[in-house]
Amino acid sequence: MTENKGNPLGYEKVTTLMLKFAIPSIIAMLVSAIYNIVDQIFIGNMIGYHGNAATNVAFPLTTISLAFSLLIGTGGAAKQNLLLGAKKQEQANRATCNSILMLVVCGVVLGTITLIFLKPLLVFFGATKDVLPYALDYTGIIAIGLPFATAVTGLNHLIRADGSPTYSMISMVSGAVVNTVCDPVFIKFWGIKGAAIATVLGQFVSFVMNIMYLRKFKHIEIKREYFRFDIKISGSICILGIASFFNQLAMTLVQIVMNNSMTTYGKQSVYGSDIPLACSGIVMKVSMIFMAVVIGIAQGHQPIVSFNYGAGKYKRVKEAYLKAVLTATIVSTTGFILLQLFPEQILSLFGKENDPAYLRFGVRLLKIFLMGMALNGIQPVTTTFFTAIGKAIKGTFIALTRQVIFLVPLVILLPMFFGIDGIMYAGPIADTSAFLLAIILVVFDFRRIRRLEIENEK
């Protein structure tokens, strides 16, 4: 096992480390997004927009699972690197093993609760009478795979933090390939249930690969004696991961509010309730592609920031953050340009519906709701940055700004005055507000870090 003083996070060139950690992290996040998008593309083309609406209704369960994965995974990874940077080996071992134990328990509990309350949950998530049968068939099977889905995402963070981002990437890609290959075949034989079976099968493959890594940790010792639930350690892990957790829960809240607002105000418009519900899901999935890259960049810079902050190397901390923000902004700006130039082509990937109202509404929603995407690079990176340096409360606040503090109230209030168009314009207003607030907060914290840097130089 490599000694802490030899950990490359403390001395290797920051750009090199960013590439090493961010690229596999980006691929892993893209794969996670693709799981849902592949289902929606095949379902949209083979079943129709009612099937797409069903996957949209099921999506909050996926984000809830991901929320717990990130709570434990990002928190455990940050704790692991902070402790290794401070040369506290045994505590790092216990933190990692507690993270693994928590992931398993959370996944099983989530799957069980979902199966017990499946129908009322789907109705609460916005399922209409016509969409509910599809949603029940699809989500009932997805719930069985929630233990695998929860464990996979969380374990990937721990594996990346251990210095094996490539292995983490291969694990995620393997599951995605299985899902993509099986999707059209399974849908042909079992309809929308087949898409869910393919998804769970892919998640299981990734889960098995991650479990196999437990004996290969480089900087962590995995021993039976460390798998004892420790309230203090688990609490500190949750505190560090709470920003990512609330960010995902906020996405769930937004999805539920969006679904119900789309059906309510869609019913009052020329589009009806099902078209806005289906298109809303497509918009969320499309934005996930670009945001997956941004979040991957944010996660890629986390080990660098955590280790060097723990080691008192503050110049490297600031360098990693600034490079991550620049890269993420380039990605989000690229997404903005593509969505504004090619909305019809992007929408057609999810099924070529003959209904002109479907195409007209979908194009408008893509272009207007995601108008502020160019500004979305800074918030996820800043959220992860504060989590990585142990300032979980500030990270949590930033994570909640766009989704909860700005977007949800706007989605509720604006349609009261502007109808369904008000939902569309809520997106860019929330994006701009969250962008400005994140800049203000990080500027103040950089001044604090500069003072620590000066003290170290004395």
DSSP code string of 268-320: TSTTTTHHHHHHHHHHHHHHHHHHHHHHHHHHHHHHHHHHHHHTT-HHHHHHH
Question: What per-residue string of b and e applies to 257-283 under the rule 16 or more CB within 10 Å gives b?
Answer: bbbbbbbebbeebebbbbbbbbbbbbb
CA distance 104 to 75: 15
pLDDT at 5: 52
pLDDT at 430: 93
| C-beta atoms surrounding 62 within 10 Å | 22
Q: Tokens 């600031």 belong to which residue?
A: 318
Sequence letter at residue 308: N
Q: Is the pTM of this model over 0.75?
A: no
CA distance 448 to 442: 10
pLDDT at 374: 92
CA distance 213 to 118: 33
Nearest CA among 64, 300, 65, 278 for reference residue 165: 300
Side-chain half-sphere exposure of 419, counting CA atoms within 13 A = 9
CA distance 317 to 303: 10
CA distance 291 to 377: 8
Sequence letter at residue 239: I
Nearest CA among 366, 290, 321, 330 for reference residue 29: 290
pLDDT at 3: 43
Provide φ and ψ at 351, rounded to 5°: 120, 130
Residues 4-52: pLDDT tens digits? 456 777 778 888 888 888 887 787 677 767 766 777 778 777 777 677 7
pLDDT at 1: 40
Question: What per-residue string of b and e applies to 338-371 under the rule 16 or more CB within 10 Å gives b?
Answer: bbeeebeebbeebbebeeeebbebbeebbebbbb
Provide φ and ψ at 390, rounded to 5°: 90, 5
- Whether the Cβ atoms of residue 305 and residue 324 lie closer than 8 Å to each other: no
Side-chain half-sphere exposure of 387, counting CA atoms within 13 A = 39
The CA distances from residue 225 to 79, 129, 159, 228, in Å, are 19, 52, 20, 7
Nearest CA among 446, 387, 304 for reference residue 72: 387
Residues of the chain where predicted confidence (pLDDT) is lower than 70: 1-6, 28, 32, 35-36, 49, 351-354, 457-458
Residues 331-371: pLDDT tens digits? 999 999 999 999 888 888 776 666 788 888 889 999 999 99
